[in-house]
Chains A and B, each alone.
Chain A
């Protein structure tokens, strides 16, 4: 007898729970979709968003602390020092390696590197993923001699 009862209750429950599920999906059919229209409408990233770095060249003192803090060694810095004057000749971040961990920004003594809101930096070439933050400068021969380029 129990076998008969389970048989019929199975048939009934099968149909009933299907209907319950269908009522839920039907309700969402008429509700507002949650889709973000991403390429058309750019999402607003929160203030703490960890995207492509923002670098303030004029503040940087070329101390390499950020490059040292980076776990994957993807920051390359070139500096020319002439007495008190500091020229940042190179500040490249390789975004093939960078994992947006924020570890480089914290120890910076001059607070000149931050994580920015930008995230669209896909590129078709490997070279294109290395971003150069320092403004390009032409160096004199003498400056070229004292330029120090370091990764870590």
Chain B
């Protein structure tokens, strides 16, 4: 953003507009925000299509085929238009202000997190010196939205879904946060830029492949905990459709529903991107010297693919099992990793 703020006055002058100097950072902020929002919406749309198409082929089906030619490219646009045009129903007994607020909170959490999203060395809204910490912190905002949605709907299924979401978030925030620690210890920084920079020089320098694989294990844990915090299968209990009809968003329809949807898909990109940056060398290529946004996007896409793949393969856990896995499996393992990495750093 600072680069944008630096070049912006020149661009504006060429266009023949004069803007008072004090307004330039504000303008830059607006531009960045709209770019992030647009990218988020667009990538969510692409992902929805990709998920449906992949799900189809995983199941020997075809997925969308009609809208926009042979492969149904425009399916999610059509879906989006349909959702926009749909009637926005608020249940009679719902807590109206909270019911309306909830979807925005959910989207806001993911949206804010994209600010520190390290696409490449240049393509990054803000290189915060506490980048990861910031992302984890704002991502937790999402759960407030979910709980609010469940509570405000005044529906028993929604409430149960929200309570599950709360239990799940509490259990998985911890392994997720801890899983980052080995990387932070190794890179000696909380800034995503410097963490990625520390992994330059080919595939073997990526943190996942660093013996003795403390970071490799913590990558796995980060990924699983990320799945759980996104409420993706096999941890999709808050919206488990076979038990809770649709969980916390049972009562939502139209645009508000699509906000939850968008947040989920944007969240998938976020968690995958974060994992790619932390453990898979971010924008660095497989061979030394290669780098660029392309690599980062490729890795992110691969991780997103794995998420989709998992969802269309595995059954769902039960809530007590989810909490068990969070506390008794992931947390001890990740603690061991942190300890190991710290001892290595100490030597």
Binding site for B on A (CB under 8 A): 11, 18, 21-22, 24-26, 28-35, 37
Contact = CB atoms under 8 A, between A and B. Distances in A.
A28 B59 contact: yes
Interface in B302-329: 309-310, 312-314, 329
A18 to B, nearest CB: 6
Given A18-B313, A25-B312, A33-B57, 20 more contacts: A18-B314, A21-B314, A22-B309, A25-B58, A25-B309, A26-B309, A28-B57, A28-B58, A28-B59, A28-B60, A29-B58, A30-B57, A31-B60, A32-B60, A33-B60, A33-B61, A34-B60, A34-B61, A35-B60, A35-B61
A35 B313 CA distance: 19
Interface residues of B, number: 15
B54 interface: yes
Contacts of A11: 329
Interface of A is mostly: helix
A34 B58 CA distance: 11
Interface of B: 54, 56-62, 65, 309-310, 312-314, 329
Contacts of A29: 54, 57-58
Contact of A21 (B56, B59, B313): B313
B185 to A, nearest CB: 24
Given A11-B329, A29-B54, A22 B60 contact: no
A28 to B, nearest CB: 5
A99 to B, nearest CB: 30
6 contacts: A22-B309, A22-B313, A24-B313, A28-B59, A32-B60, A35-B60
Contacts of B314: 18, 21
B54 A22 contact: no
